[in-house]
Amino acid sequence: CPTPADLRPANGTRVCAQLYADNSPYYDQCCAGDVLVVPPGSDMPYMPRGWSARASSLVVGTKCELTVWSRKAKEGKSRRFGA
């Protein structure tokens, strides 16, 4: 997986978090498959099409926090992730 400080695409814009579709019990094979990029300041009460219950790994960038909810529209239990 990339380190939190590595979350910058080629054009240099900042990325707050990346969610990955594939996971593995082997650390060197985690953070694979499709990637959902979360820009700073994003507010998404619903997961994008095709991502519901699909994210298995995530990396949160430095100076960012990602809050996720167990149900749609920011309902249910929440959990915060940081770098």
The 10s digit of each residue's pLDDT in 14-67 is 889 999 988 777 777 788 889 999 999 999 888 888 888 888 889 999 889 999
Q: How far apart, in whole angstroms, are the C-alpha atoms of residue 73 and residue 6?
A: 30
| Band of residue 80 on the pLDDT scale cut at 50, 70, 90 | very high
Q: For position 31, what pLDDT does the model report?
A: 85
The reply to whether 39 falls in a domain is yes
The reply to whether 10 falls in a domain is no
Phi-psi region of 53 (alpha: psi -120 to 50; beta: other; left: phi over 0): left
Q: For position 72, what pLDDT does the model report?
A: 86
The reply to whether 9 falls in a domain is no
The reply to whether 54 falls in a domain is yes
3-state secondary structure of 4: helix
Closest CA to 1 of 56, 40, 41: 56
Instruction: Provide the domain count of the chain.
Output: 1
Q: What's the domain range around 55?
A: 17-82
Q: Which regions of 1-83 does DSSP assign to beta strands (E)?
A: 17-22, 32-38, 57-60, 65-71, 75-82
Residue keyed to tokens 């694979």:
32
Q: For position 22, what pLDDT does the model report?
A: 83
